[in-house]
Amino acid sequence: MSNVKNEIPMPQDPDSVADNFLAFVQLVTVLRQECPWDRKQTNESIAHLLIEEAYEMIEAVQKGDDEEFSRELGDLLLHVVMHSVMAEERGAFDMVKIIKRIHKKLVHRHPHIFGEIEVRDDSDVTRNWEELKMQEGRTSVLQGVPHSLPSLLRAERMQHKVANVGFDWDNSEGPWLKVEEELAELKAELKNGNKDKAEEELGDVLFSIVNAARFDKLVPEEALQKTNNKFIKRFQYIEEKAHQLGKEINKMSLEEMDTLWNEAKQNGL
């Protein structure tokens, strides 16, 4: 006699995207009904987990690990389906409505593919995209930039959006001169001992650096992540060497640690 409580939803055609997606939605629905943990969750209770999964996906992309990338995309898909199942339970919307809405939006936002609009390059596409958003009822080009985004990413998204409607520098010299100007103002406020004003100027410095980087097609978030990872490798090198020397790192002098730091740099870390 079988102890299996529920039949596992499986696709009729294992190679069909539609069949596999339907089976997956059915699987999540079963979990929602039968699993005590899944049943307990709400859209609100799992919302923050989606951000974590998105960052794990980004990390897999940056590593160039396609196996991990595919797994992380699966985790993101799970969250999308779980949210839709929960919403359907409370009569808000279902997966069909989600797909219909994004299908309609993509068609509307690509008149150069499905309409008569002509474009020269991707810049025209981006500009049209923002214009279409405004036609859809938005009152500001900055509407839709989430407040919950990390500050670095939020600054970059805001700057991209206003640049798409022409609020941008003519060349890269301007934004980098702005960085120097803001840095001088920060130094002046630090010298004056005005902490509140210095904090404001620090924000201006960071914002101007993001803007200058964006103009030169550098991605600040990725650049800072690479520097963070580099710092971790070099400091862990110091810790490893300290252990090999039989020393406690918190009792080493700054000069000793700095020597090991430079050694790590010479070793390509």
Domain of residue 46 covers 17-107
92 and 118 co-located in one domain? no
Q: What is the pTM of this model?
A: 0.71
In a domain, 36, yes or no: yes
99 and 33 co-located in one domain? yes
Top pLDDT among 156 and 139 is at: 156
196 and 250 co-located in one domain? no
In this predicted model, what pLDDT tens digit does every residue of 65-92 receive, in sequence order? Answer: 999 999 999 999 999 999 999 999 999 9
In a domain, 66, yes or no: yes
29 and 96 co-located in one domain? yes
Question: Is the model's pLDDT at 222 over the cut of 90?
Answer: no
23 and 95 co-located in one domain? yes
Work out the average pLDDT over 118-123.
Answer: 90
Percent of the chain surpassing pLDDT 70 = 99
Query: How many independent structural domains does the chain possess?
Result: 4
**What CATH number is given to the structural domain containing 96?**
1.10.287.1080
pLDDT of residue 49: 92
Q: Which amino acid is at 41?
A: Q
In a domain, 195, yes or no: yes
121 and 135 co-located in one domain? yes
In a domain, 120, yes or no: yes
Work out the average pLDDT over 139-159.
Answer: 89
Q: Decide if 192 contacts 232 (C-beta within 8 A).
A: no
In this predicted model, what pLDDT tens digit does every residue of 180-189 receive, in sequence order? Answer: 999 999 999 9
Nearest Cα residue to 89 out of 32, 7, 9, 47: 32
Residue 133 neighbours by CB under 8 Å, 6+ apart: 141, 144
The contacts found for 2-9 with CB under 8 angstroms, 24 or more apart, are 5/34, 6/30, 6/34
User: Where does a domain end: 56, 91, 107?
Assistant: 107
In a domain, 243, yes or no: yes
pLDDT of residue 4: 60
51 and 128 co-located in one domain? no
